[in-house]
A and B are shown apart, each in its own frame.
Chain A
Amino acid sequence: MKKLLLTHCLLLWAVLGFAQDELQVRGNFSIEGQYYQQDSAISAVVPDEQVALQGFGNIILTKGKFETGVRFETYVPAFVGYPAGAAWDGTGLGYRYAKYNGDKIEITVGNFYEQFGSGLILRTWEDRGLGVDYALDGIRVVARPADGITLKGLYGKQRFNFDDGFQNGDGIVRGADAEFHLNQLLDSIINLNGQWFIGGSFVSKYERNRSAAFDFPENVGAGSVRLRYQQGGFQFSGEYAHISQNPTKMNSQIVDIPDSLSPSTGIFQFGQALQATTSYSRKGFGVSLTASSLANMAFQSQRGADAFDSWINYLPPTSVLQTTLLAQFYPYATQPNGETSFRGDLFYTIPKKSLLGGKYGTKIVVSYTHVQAPDFPEVPGFDENREGVQPKLFTWGDDTYYADFNAKITKKISKKFKGSLFYMNIQYDNDVILGAYDYENVAAKGKIYADLIAFEGDIRLKKGHNFRFELQALFTDQHLQDWFAVVTEYTISPHYFFSAVNQYNFGNADGDKFNFPVVSAGYIDGGNRISLSYGRQRAGVFCVGGVCRVVPASNGLTVTLTSSF
Chain B
Amino acid sequence: MIRKLILTFTAFSLLLFAHAQENSNTSSIPSTNVKSLEGKTFDTANFSNDGNPMIINFWATWCSPCKKELNNIAEVYEDWVDETGVKLVAVSIDDARSQSRVLPYINGSSWEYEVYIDENQDFKRAMGVNNVPHTFLVDGAGNIVYSHNNYAPGDENELYEKILSLSNQ
**Residue ranges of A at the interface with B (Cβ–Cβ < 8 Å):** 1-2, 5-6, 8-9, 12-13, 16, 22-28, 30, 58-62, 67, 70, 72, 92-93, 96, 101, 113-115, 118-119, 123, 125-126, 129, 144, 150, 181, 195, 197, 228, 230, 233, 235, 237, 275, 277, 279-288, 290, 314, 316-317, 320-321, 323, 345, 347-349, 363, 365, 458, 460, 463-466, 491-494, 497, 524, 526-529, 562-565
The answer to whether A317 touches B97, judged by C-beta atoms less than 8 angstroms apart, is yes
The answer to whether B17 touches A61, judged by C-beta atoms less than 8 angstroms apart, is yes
Contact flags B1-28 to A (C-beta < 8 A → 1, else 0): 0110011011101100110110010111
**Residue ranges of B at the interface with A (Cβ–Cβ < 8 Å):** 2-3, 6-7, 9-11, 13-14, 17-18, 20-21, 24, 26-28, 30-31, 37-41, 62-64, 68, 95-98, 100-101, 103-110, 119-122, 125-131, 134, 146-150, 152-155, 157-158
Give complex CA distance A5, B128 in Å. Answer: 23
Beyond known contacts A286-B103, A524-B148: 20 more, CB 8 A cutoff: A24-B21, A24-B26, A25-B21, A30-B130, A115-B120, A119-B120, A125-B95, A233-B107, A279-B100, A284-B110, A316-B95, A347-B107, A348-B108, A494-B155, A526-B147, A526-B149, A527-B128, A562-B149, A564-B128, A564-B134
Given contact pairs A58-B128, A349-B110, A494 touches B148 in the complex (Cβ within 8 A): yes
Given contact pairs A101-B31, A314-B96, A5 touches B7 in the complex (Cβ within 8 A): yes
Residue of B whose beta carbon sits closest to that of A119: B96
Give complex CA distance A2, B5 in Å. Answer: 10
The answer to whether B98 touches A233, judged by C-beta atoms less than 8 angstroms apart, is no
Give complex CA distance A23, B39 in Å. Answer: 32
Given contact pairs A2-B3, A527-B148, A528-B149, A493 touches B27 in the complex (Cβ within 8 A): no
The answer to whether B130 touches A494, judged by C-beta atoms less than 8 angstroms apart, is no
Query: How many Å from the CB of B163 to the closest CB on chain A?
Result: 14
Given contact pairs A70-B14, A347-B108, A524-B149, A277 touches B27 in the complex (Cβ within 8 A): no
The answer to whether A491 touches B103, judged by C-beta atoms less than 8 angstroms apart, is no
Residue of A whose beta carbon sits closest to that of B28: A24
The 9 A-B pairs of least Cβ separation, nearest first, read A286-B104, A493-B154, A316-B97, A491-B152, A347-B108, A28-B128, A281-B107, A464-B154, A281-B104
Query: How many Å from the CB of B121 to the closest CB on chain A?
Result: 7
Contacts of B122 in A (CB 8 A): 113
Residue of B whose beta carbon sits closest to that of A228: B39
Contacts of A493 in B (CB 8 A): 152-155, 157-158
Contacts of A2 in B (CB 8 A): 2-3, 6
The answer to whether A283 touches B107, judged by C-beta atoms less than 8 angstroms apart, is yes
The answer to whether B10 touches A8, judged by C-beta atoms less than 8 angstroms apart, is yes
The answer to whether B130 touches A562, judged by C-beta atoms less than 8 angstroms apart, is yes
Neighbour of A233 across the interface among B13, B103, B153, CB < 8 A? B103
The answer to whether B39 touches A316, judged by C-beta atoms less than 8 angstroms apart, is no
Give complex CA distance A320, B37 in Å. Answer: 20
Query: How many Å from the CB of A521 to the closest CB on chain B?
Result: 13
Ordered by A's residue number, 12 sampled pairs between the chains whose C-beta atoms are within 8 Å are: A2-B2, A16-B17, A96-B10, A101-B31, A123-B96, A181-B40, A235-B100, A281-B104, A349-B109, A493-B152, A527-B128, A564-B130
